[in-house]
């Protein structure tokens, strides 16, 4: 009899803990950062580039997201981050999809919410964002690799096309 009781309680424990464990594993897998690295440079890579005054040399994709959502507001030397976004809608759509995990509407809602909650404005939009970042100290933006003008700014993060 005690063995049967043990068996039942074991089964109950499994049903109680099993879904929870499955959930935790599933979430962990989803959260695991992609280890796929671009073996070769792809012209459609998105490069996160900064003004040369920025001391940070490399940031993760999560940090890049936080920079453009104004969650992270300072570089490692304490200087204010100035995010600049391009006017090119295709590039922005790619960046939303790869980095922000948002669609256009999600992003609009995010900035509406930030405006109402904290008075926070969205980043400045400049057609030639690369030139703007060349000029403005502590600024950061993103471009396709094929459009990158080497030497005038520096790269802190490379985001390969989805699926790579």
User: What is the contact surface with other proteins in residues (CB under 8 A)?
Assistant: 27, 30-31, 33, 51-53, 60-63, 66, 71-74, 78, 80, 82, 84, 101, 103-105, 108-109, 111-113, 115-119, 121, 124, 126, 128, 131-132, 134-139, 149, 152
Sheet holding 124-126, edge to edge: 124-126, 82-86, 139-144, 46-50, 154-159
Measured from the CB atom, is 72 or 145 closer to other proteins? 72
Kindly state the smallest distance separating residue 8's Cβ from other proteins, in Å: 31
Separation of alpha carbons 54 and 139, rounded Å: 8
If the CB atoms of residues 7 and 80 are measured against other proteins, the closer one turns out to be 80
**Sole residue written with tokens 């969650």:** 71
CB of 40 to other proteins, least distance (A): 24
Dihedral over alpha carbons 9, 11, 13, 15 (to 10 degrees)? -140
């Amino acid at each position: 009899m005690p063995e049967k009781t043990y068996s039942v309680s074991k089964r109950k424990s499994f049903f109680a803990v099993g879904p929870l464990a499955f959930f935790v594993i599933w979430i962990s897998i989803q959260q695991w950062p992609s280890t796929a690295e671009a073996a070769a440079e792809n012209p459609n890579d998105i490069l996160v580039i900064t003004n040369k005054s920025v001391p940070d040399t490399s940031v993760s994709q999560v940090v890049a997201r936080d920079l453009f959502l104004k969650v992270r507001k300072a570089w490692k030397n304490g200087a204010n981050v100035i995010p600049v976004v391009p006017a090119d809608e295709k590039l922005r759509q790619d960046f939303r999809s790869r980095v922000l995990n948002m669609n256009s509407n999600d992003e609009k809602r995010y900035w509406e919410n930030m405006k109402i909650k904290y008075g926070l404005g969205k980043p400045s939009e400049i057609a030639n964002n690369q030139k703007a970042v060349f000029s403005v100290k502590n600024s950061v933006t993103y471009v396709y690799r094929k459009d990158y003008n080497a030497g005038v700014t520096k790269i802190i993060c490379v985001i390969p096309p989805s699926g790579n």
